[in-house]
Amino acid sequence: MVFLSVFMASLSRLRVIAPSLRSFSRSPVPSLLQSRTFTMTTCDEFKQAPHKLLVIPGPIEVSDEVLFANAHPAVSHVAPDFIKGCHREVVFTKDAQPFLISGSGTLGWDQVSANLVESGENALVLHSGYFGDSFSDCLQTYGANVDLVKAELGTAVSQSVIEEKLKAKKYKVLTFTHVDTSTGVLSDAKAIAETVKRVSPDTLIVADCVCSVGSEEIRFDDWGLDIVLTASQKGLGTPPGLSIVVASQRAMKVFESRKSPVTSYYASWKKWLPIMKAYEAGTPAYFATPPVNLINAYLASLRQITRASPSLEERFRLHREASQRVKDAASELGLKQIALDPAFAANGMTTVYYPDGLGAADILPRFAQRGLVIAGGLLGSIKDKYFRIGHMGVTVVDSDRGDVDNIVRVLKESITEARSQKA
Amino acid sequence: MVFLSVFMASLSRLRVIAPSLRSFSRSPVPSLLQSRTFTMTTCDEFKQAPHKLLVIPGPIEVSDEVLFANAHPAVSHVAPDFIKGCHREVVFTKDAQPFLISGSGTLGWDQVSANLVESGENALVLHSGYFGDSFSDCLQTYGANVDLVKAELGTAVSQSVIEEKLKAKKYKVLTFTHVDTSTGVLSDAKAIAETVKRVSPDTLIVADCVCSVGSEEIRFDDWGLDIVLTASQKGLGTPPGLSIVVASQRAMKVFESRKSPVTSYYASWKKWLPIMKAYEAGTPAYFATPPVNLINAYLASLRQITRASPSLEERFRLHREASQRVKDAASELGLKQIALDPAFAANGMTTVYYPDGLGAADILPRFAQRGLVIAGGLLGSIKDKYFRIGHMGVTVVDSDRGDVDNIVRVLKESITEARSQKA
C-alpha cells in the first residue's frame, strides 16, 4: 500500500495546479489579458468527444479522467515529483523491480531477450497463438536457442508437456503468453509457475501479460513469477505507448551476473535501472526522455484500478461475469469459439468463428453501423475465419456505461441480420 | 504539399467526430440518460490548466490544440485512417522514408546502429557535447568501430578535421548532433554534408536533430542528408514518446543490402518498413501497437507547423530573433555563453554560465518563483557551472503568449537579485 499512497500523493500534487477557473471568462478582463482566453477546463468538465465504442482486445476505451491526465500541460521530464510510484499493486508484488519505458508492449520482449538471455542460451517458448511466434522471433534475434512448443489451437500447452520439456533440457527462461490476443486463449500462469519451480527451479518464468494485467488475476509474489511484461493500452486503460515490465529480484540478480554485455542500447537495463531507482527515490535522473503525459495518464488509471471499491478482486470478478455474458450470447447464437474449453478462455476478450458461409465483410460493418468497433482475426492460419471482441477496463467495470449490454445486443442483431440476408 | 494535404484530410476526419455538444447539458435530459453527464469539451473550449512556463530545451510548451488531440477518445491502432501522412514537410524532403515508432529520441540511435551499421564497420562520430558520447556508446553496443572526434567545448568539429578523418579511413556512417542539448552548440549541417559528399561520397550522413527539427532550418534533399532522427517533444511541440526518423532512399538501399541480420527486434526496419508503407497506403497493418493518441497530437502539431502562415521560413526567423533577444539579454548582464562564437549558437536554446560565485541553487529557484522552469547543466565536466533555457515552438511563434518577454525579464531579475543577495 505504500506505493499506492505515493501514487496518490503525486497525483494530488498534479491536480492542485488545475483549479477551476471556469467563471474567469465571465469576469471583467484586465486590458493586458484581453488577447488571451481564460475559459478553463477542469477534470470534472472534461468529457471526451462522442465516438464509436472501441471493443477490440486493446487499445480499449479510456476514461475521461485518464484522457484528461494525458492532456496535462508540459512538465519537465526530470522533475522529481512527476513519477514516484509504479506498477506493483496490480500484480500483487512487494519488491519486484518495475521498468516504465516509452515504447509498445513489444519492447518488453526486447527487454527480456537482451537483458536476461545471453547468446547461445536456451529458451522454452510456450505457444498459444500469434504472440508465441513473435516472442520466439525476438529471442532468436538476440541469439537465444529457442524451442517453441505449440499447443493445439484453442488450448494452452499442458503441464505434462512442459514437465517433459524441462526434464529434457536446461532452459534459462520459459516464456508463455498469459492471454494470447490473437486466439483469446488463457494460460494457467499459476500452474505453469508451479511446474517450473518443481522441475527446473533455476529457469526464469517470463509471463507475457500484455492482454491480461488488470483483467486477469496475477499473483506475482505468491506464484513466484520472474517477469510480467505488459503495456498501457489494454486492462490498464491508458492510451498506448508505455512498455511496463516488472522483474523479480531473482531476475535482477541473473541480469547483474551476466557475462556478456547487453546487446541493446534502448532496452538496456544497465541504462534504465539507475533511472527507475532515481524516479522512486524522487531524484532527477536522465537516460532518455520519458513519455511524461502518458505516465501521468497511466498513474491516473492506476489510481482508479487500485482504489478500494471496486477492489482488484471485484474487478477480476466483473471481468469474469462480463466475459461469461458475451460467451453465453455467442453460444446461444450457435457460434463456435476458438477456446476449446472454458478453462482456456480469457476473461478480457472473446474470439468467435464466423457462422458458416459468412465472413468479416458480413459481420464487422454491422457492428460498426451500430457504433461498435470490433477486431477481425490475427492468427495467420485462420485469420479470415473469426472475429475478436474485447471487454476490459471501464467497459466492464463501469456498468452505467452499458457497454456489455451493447456488445451482447449488437452481437445478436449483427449475426441475425447477416444470416437472414445471406439466406 | 501532397503529404500536407493528406495530414489535413486525416485530421479533419478525426475532427468531425467531435461536434460541439456544449448546449446539451442545458437541454431536457431524457430519463434514460440521466445517469451520464453530457457536458462536452470541444477543441475551442479546451484550455490547459495554469502552470509554470516550461522553458527547458525540451520537452517544451504544448499548445491547447495539440494537448486536446492527445486526449482523443480511444481508436483502433490498425484503423486505416488514423495515420496516412508523415513527417516530410518539416525537413524539406520529397521521397525519404519516415519511421514513426513509440519511443524516445534515443530509439533513433538504435535504429541507425542496428539497421545501417553492421558489426565491425566504422563510424565517425562528431562530438559537440553529451549526446555525441551517447550516440557513440549506442553504435558500439551494436558492434561498430567508433572514432569519436571531440570539438573544443563551445564549438563544433571543423570541416578541415572532418576532411582529414574521412581521408584517413573509410567510414560507413558519419554522425553529428545538429544541436547538442547539453551545450546548445549548433553544427553546420549543410557544410558537413558538403564535406562528406566531396571527400567520402559513400559515407552515410546521419544527423541527430532531436533538438533542431522545427527550430533550425534542415534541407534534407538539398543538402543530401541520409538520416534525420528526432523526437516529438522539442521543436515539434508534442508531448514526448515518439521517435521520428527520416531515411533517404540511399540509406534504405544500404539497409536492404546488408549482409548480416538486424540485431534488434523492436528497432528493426525489417519489421517496421512494411508497416510504415501500409500506413501511408491507408491499409491496416500490425507489428507493434503505435501510440495512437500521441500520433494524433503530433499530426495536430504538424498541421500548425506546416500551415501557410507563419511559413516554415518565418518560423526559423522567429526562432533566430527570439534566440538573439535571450542571448543579448545574457550578454548585457555580463554572462558568458558556452557557444564560443554566434555561429556555434543554437536558435532554439541558450546555454549560459552562472555568474562568478553563484550556482544552480542561486538561480533556478528564482526563475521558478517567477513561474519559469529552466534547466541546469547536463555535460559532466561543467554540469554545475551553467544553465539552459529553451525557446522553441509556441513560446517563440505565438508572440501573444509573451513567453520570450517573460524569459528576458525573469533572466534579468533573477541574476540581478542573486548578485545583490550574494554581495
**CA of A201, closest CA in chain B: separation in Å?**
28
A423 against A171, higher pLDDT: A171
- Per the annotation, where are the binding residues of A for substrate? 388
Model pLDDT, residue A40: 54
**CA of B180, closest CA in chain A: separation in Å?**
14
A269 against B36, higher pLDDT: A269
Greatest CA separation for chain B: 81
* C-alpha closest to that of B125 among B108, B142, B138, B114: B138
Taking only the tens place, the pLDDT of each residue in B99-148 is 999 999 999 999 999 999 999 999 999 999 999 999 999 999 999 999 99
Model pLDDT, residue A308: 79
Contacts of B80 in chain A (CB under 8 A): none
Average pLDDT, chain B: 89
Option in B18, B240, B375 nearest A289 (CB) = B240
Model pLDDT, residue B84: 59
Taking only the tens place, the pLDDT of each residue in B174-219 is 999 999 999 999 999 999 999 999 999 999 999 999 999 999 999 9
Band of residue B26 on the pLDDT scale cut at 50, 70, 90: very low
Model pLDDT, residue A209: 98
Option in B70, B72, B105 nearest A293 (CB) = B70
Q: Is A319 an 8 Å CB contact of chain B?
A: no
Residue A59 has pLDDT above 80, yes or no: yes
Taking only the tens place, the pLDDT of each residue in A215-251 is 999 999 999 999 999 999 999 999 999 999 999 999 9
Give the residue-averaged pLDDT of A364-387: 96
Model pLDDT, residue A280: 85
Distance CA A419, CA B8 (A): 40
Model pLDDT, residue A211: 98
Q: Is B19 an 8 Å CB contact of chain A?
A: yes
Cβ atoms of A393 and A237 within 8 Å: the answer is yes
Model pLDDT, residue A19: 27
Cβ neighbours around B259 below 10 Å, total: 5
Band of residue A86 on the pLDDT scale cut at 50, 70, 90: low
Distance CA A232, CA B370 (A): 36
Residue A371 has pLDDT above 50, yes or no: yes
Nearest-Cα residue of chain B relative to residue A18:
B49
Q: How far, in Å, are A147, A166, A171, A300, B51 from residue A199 at the CA level?
A: 17, 7, 11, 41, 56
Asked if B265 and A291 come within 8 Å (Cβ–Cβ), the reply is no
Taking only the tens place, the pLDDT of each residue in B296-339 is 999 999 989 988 789 999 999 999 999 999 999 999 999 999 99
Residue A124 has pLDDT above 80, yes or no: yes
**What ipTM was reported for this prediction?**
0.89
Band of residue A34 on the pLDDT scale cut at 50, 70, 90: very low
Model pLDDT, residue B309: 86
Residue B227 has pLDDT above 50, yes or no: yes
Residue A348 has pLDDT above 70, yes or no: yes
Transcribe B252-281 into DSSP letters: HHHHHT-SSPPS-STT-HHHHHHHHHHHHH
Worst-scoring range by mean pLDDT, A35-39, A409-413, B40-44, B326-330? A35-39
Model pLDDT, residue A121: 98
Residue A194 has pLDDT above 70, yes or no: yes
Q: Is A17 an 8 Å CB contact of chain B?
A: yes
Q: How far, in Å, are A182, A333, A358, B391 from residue A415 at the CA level?
A: 21, 8, 9, 57
Q: Is A50 an 8 Å CB contact of chain B?
A: yes
- Interface probe for B, chosen from A140, A141, A262 (most Cβ of B below 10 Å), is A141
Cβ neighbours around A277 below 10 Å, total: 12
Cβ atoms of A41 and B18 within 8 Å: the answer is no
Worst-scoring range by mean pLDDT, A125-134, A354-363, B45-54, B384-393? B45-54
Residue A17 has pLDDT above 80, yes or no: no
Beta-sheet pairing, A242-247 with A97-102:
antiparallel
Model pLDDT, residue B33: 29
Model pLDDT, residue A45: 82
Model pLDDT, residue B319: 98
Residue B83 has pLDDT above 90, yes or no: no
Give the residue-averaged pLDDT of B373-397: 96
Q: Is B33 an 8 Å CB contact of chain A?
A: no
Residue A132 has pLDDT above 70, yes or no: yes
Model pLDDT, residue A11: 30
Band of residue A77 on the pLDDT scale cut at 50, 70, 90: confident
- CB proximity under 8 Å: A 323-362 to B: none
Model pLDDT, residue B398: 95
**CA of A242, closest CA in chain B: separation in Å?**
8
Model pLDDT, residue B85: 53
